[in-house]
Chains A and B, each alone.
Chain A
Amino acid sequence: QLQQQQWGAGLLKPSETLSLSCVVYGGSFRGYYWSWIRQAPGKGLEWIGEITHSGSTNYNPSLKSRVTMSVDTSENQFSLKMNSVTAADTAMYYCARGLAGRSAYSSKSYYYFDYWGQGTLVTVSS
């Protein structure tokens, strides 16, 4: 059974850099999209970005200028850094595994998050 454990600083001051890591146990690191997703208090889910085992990344355009993701395949671990945080970055941050493929039903493709970390609450406050 795959498990993801995440950690990082939970209290930041404005302008500081958010740093979170997620380690994957019990499953392969290859062949998946490893994402960070956040949820501000009382709000919906917002995708931050993804990274593959080879280090290929995609970021949400609205956050791209402040976000960097990295991967350490020797440790089955991936990380998120977000600089210049403000109060608007206060949220629960989740790591998640993305799985993609071609549907057996049609020419469409599918993509979904099958495992999620427990979440890390990050609060930005002076």
Chain B
Amino acid sequence: SSELTQDPAVSVPLGQTGRITCQGDSLRTYYASWYQQKPGQAPVVVIYDNNKRPSGTPDRFSGSNSGSTASLTITGAQAEDEADYYCHSRDSSDNPVVFGGGTKLTVL
């Protein structure tokens, strides 16, 4: 079955740029989507279809994809961006939906 691999933790100074990456074979066929989850809350999609932002997602969030790697970039990170971030993709293997293990983003 396919897997998506994320770094467990990323730190970014306030106002600087932070990047979270996600690797997996399924990303060659499907774009990753990215979810932000704050403590005690359900996940919320922040990026889908390569670089689309749902209404309500600040434009400091952007996505990109190259081969089997997807990236979520936060340009000018704010304190409220501190959260867990999960990448997700569909897959054509026997497990059609996969999530990355999650990245805890700390804004210093």
Residues of A bordering B, CB below 8 Å? 35, 37, 44-47, 50, 58, 60-62, 94, 98, 100-101, 103-106, 108-114, 116-119
Chain B residue contacts of A116, Cβ below 8 A: 42-44
Which of B30, B51, B54, B102 lies in contact with A114, CB distance below 8 A? B54
A47 touches B45 (CB 8 A): no
Question: What is the size category of the interface that chain B forms with chain A?
Answer: 20 to 34
A113 touches B49 (CB 8 A): no
Q: How many Å from the CB of A92 to the closest CB on chain B?
A: 8
Q: List 18 A-B contacts (CB under 8 A).
A: A44-B102, A45-B99, A45-B102, A46-B99, A58-B97, A104-B49, A105-B50, A109-B29, A110-B31, A110-B48, A111-B30, A111-B33, A111-B89, A112-B33, A112-B48, A113-B43, A114-B45, A116-B44
B90 touches A111 (CB 8 A): yes
Could you tell me the distance between the alpha carbons of A37 and B30 in the complex, rounded to whole angstroms? 19
Q: How many Å from the CB of B25 to the closest CB on chain A?
A: 13
Chain A residue contacts of B100, Cβ below 8 A: 44
Could you tell me the distance between the alpha carbons of A50 and B90 in the complex, rounded to whole angstroms? 12
Which of B1, B35, B49, B90 lies in contact with A103, CB distance below 8 A? B49
